[in-house]
A = this chain, B = another copy of it.
Amino acid sequence: MKLASLKGGRDGRLHVVSRDLCRCVPAAAVAPTLQAALDAWDSCAPHLRALAAALERGPLPDEVPFDPAMCAAPLPRAYQWADASAYLSHVALVRQARGAEMPDSFRHDPLLYQGGSDTMLGPRDPIAAADEAWGIDFEAEVAVITDDVPPGVSPQDAGGHIRLLMLVNDVSLRHLIPAELAKGFGFFQSKPPTAFSPVVVTPDELGEAWDGARLHHPLRSHLNGALFGAPDAGTDMAFGFPELIAHAARTRPLGAGCIVGSGTVANHDRTRGSSCIAERRMLEQLADGAARTPFLRYGDRVRIEMLDADGASIFGAIEQTVEPPR
């Protein structure tokens, strides 16, 4: 099934969305918000599935057209946002551009940062930045949402805690990153609010494209209407989601509604293009000695989407414009 949080209140209003993303129906009778549904997933999910099945069968009295512009983030605020960097071609390239080797440990020890989760952006919310000189960039990713995960969970058991999947734009302020990371405590100002796809989907919606650890479809990013990259999210992901969850839960439980991100999707095959501007700039620099593609400016438009084998949008599109704060 597919779920969305329509804008309303601090936590949105949970809706079940039709598979073709054309119609939706309020799920308030089951759970007012997605967080409430995740808090009691085992009891809520069957009722949500029944509602989804009824919606597919035909018109429901309270259904409305589904409009991604009315969507908040599936979790407009979340308790945990753990974002990995699981595509090592991206990590290696970042380091190569500055003449550094990627430590061999990165091949067996996942890289994960603690993201801020009190303000999550809906799929059509603007990327609000007070200064274009911050080096505004997008990062297209896949993410999962878990139920309650016990501390020390094994990678074998972690997969069973994945309840939902969605797409992410992990907005990054590139020019704030070097000074911030040099301080040693990781990202803070350099990672402003993250944006998410209109809908989240249960794993069964993905068919064989979801193997329990990786999602095998190209992740398509457009910049100002032009295709920027379409690397396959299932290819070259060094750590599957169960491994990332186990890493995050090594010394702590993870609460229901925990979001775990894949990191910027990237393939070793460079002809697939990139999922962020920084990567293209690094390739330009390595090829020509200078980066040509500028970071985002006010008015620039980013679109992130994943299509199924029939060309239908799975999660709906993230479509954001860069703007000064209102």
Which residues in A have some Cβ–Cβ distance to B below 8 Å? Answer: 10, 39, 77-80, 82, 85, 103, 105-106, 109, 111-119, 128-130, 134, 151-152, 173, 176, 181, 183-193, 247-248, 250-258, 325
Residues in B whose Cβ lies below 8 Å from that of A256 = 10
Closest to A115 in B: B114
Contact status A188-B151, CB under 8 Å: no
- A116 CB contacts on chain B under 8 angstroms: 80, 82, 114, 252
The distance in angstroms between the C-alpha atoms of A258 and B79, with both chains bound, is: 11
Q: Which residues of B contact A325 (CB under 8 A)?
A: 151-152
Q: Which residue of B lies closest to A109 (CB)?
A: B183
A188-B82 contact in complex given A109-B183, A254-B118, A255-B119, C-beta closer than 8 Å: yes
Cβ contact of A78, chosen from B79, B85, B152, B254, cutoff 8 A: B79
Given A10-B39, A251-B173, also A188-B114 (CB < 8 A): yes
Shortest beta-carbon distance from A154 to chain B in Å: 13
With beta carbons under 8 angstroms apart, the residue of B185, B247, B251 that contacts A111 is B185
| Shortest beta-carbon contacts, A-B, top 9 | A186-B186, A118-B255, A79-B118, A80-B118, A113-B185, A192-B251, A114-B114, A77-B79, A192-B252
